[in-house]
Amino acid sequence: MSLPDEFHEIAKRVNNWGRWGRDDELGTLNLITDEAVREAVRTVRSGLRVPLALDLKQDGVQSGLIPGRVNPLHVMVQVNQELFGPGTVATSDDAVTLGLQAGTHWDALTHASHSGRLYNGRPADSITAHGRAAFSGIHTVRHLVGRGVLLDVAAAKGVERLPGDHAVTPEDLDEAAEFGGVAVGAGDLVLVRTGQVQVYLAGDRHGYGYPSPGLSLRTPEWFHARDVAAVANDTLTFEIFPPEIENLWLPVHALDLVEMGMLQGQNWNLEKLSTACAQERRYAFLLAATPEPFVGGTGSPVAPVAVL
């Protein structure tokens, strides 16, 4: 099996290999300049902070379908332990085992490969079990702060959430931008709301994952044209699942991560942000969403906060 021509044509149009040098590991994050950050800061009016992470817990979003992507197992290793003798100050410590992509997370650029290649043309086999990702590991993203823009597709369409077979198209993104009165520009961090996370919040993990609305194969060009820095949404798979073209699985992952070198975020809870943006009638804000620096990680949990 090989990827269809349609895929390769889009791939050519959105490809960023070499754009920031042959050694670049950051891709479109290069577009978040100091000036873009100053712009982002200027969007803040009320100071309201809206958290976008789901709780990290054993009954998290993973249902067991993705092998090895385990929900957090959180355990206490010390409980009120008086380390220095009875009657002294006591401390509690804990430990956790989790899949780096288990909850609200960023995919690193190395999370996907196709045709033997990673972003910037690096060989896929530079990821190994022991060496981990030799390039573009999530720890190379030392900071991720910029202007966030909410494209509330569900709200723009006047529905609570998009149906499971809805591929979010470039036209949908335009519609949501217009709804929010916001123009997406270079270095922006775009959050696309489908409302799908409500299914998980209502207790249905399996229904949350599949079938799921998500980004269409046609959206990478839209993001590329606007020089978007990163995109996150409120679904398990990011892109529509099952896919639009039969047997063309995960094409958006391949286009965004491998060809464009653009970070993707998944399982973001955009419900409260939807409400807050509607109330404040503003869909651009400061977004702080730095991943944890797991060396060589192909992803990381993140606790994003929008500051309005």
Within residues 69-108, the interface with a copy of itself by CB under 8 A covers 69-70, 72-81, 83-101
Among 249, 252, 284, smallest CA distance to 265 is for: 252
Q: According to CB under 8 A, which one of 207, 211, 249, 278 is a site residue for a copy of itself?
A: 249
Instruction: Based on the shown chain and the rule CB under 8 A, indicate whether residue 307 belongs to the binding site for a copy of itself.
Output: yes
The residue count of the chain comes to 308
Asked if residues 196 and 213 have their Cβ atoms less than 8 Å apart, the reply is yes
Q: According to CB under 8 A, which one of 27, 214, 220, 251 is a site residue for a copy of itself?
A: 251
From residue 48 to residue 67, what is the string marking binding to a copy of itself with x (rule CB under 8 A)?
xxxx-xxxxxxx----x-xx
Q: Which is nearer to a copy of itself, 196 or 300 (CB)?
A: 300
Instruction: Based on the shown chain and the rule CB under 8 A, indicate whether residue 282 belongs to the binding site for a copy of itself.
Output: no
82, two tokens: 């008086």
**Type and span of the H or E element at 58:** none
Site size toward a copy of itself (CB under 8 A) is: 102
Among 204, 170, 213, smallest CA distance to 190 is for: 170
Residue 243 CB: number of other CB atoms within 10 A?
18
Instruction: Based on the shown chain and the rule CB under 8 A, indicate whether residue 10 belongs to the binding site for a copy of itself.
Output: no
CB of 120 to a copy of itself, least distance (A): 16
Residue 179 CB: number of other CB atoms within 10 A?
18
**Of the ranges 32-40, 169-177, 190-198, 224-232, which one interacts with a copy of itself (CB under 8 A)?**
32-40
- The four Cα atoms 35, 169, 177, 45 give a dihedral, to 10 degrees, of -60
Site for a copy of itself in 136-165 (CB under 8 A): 139, 142-145
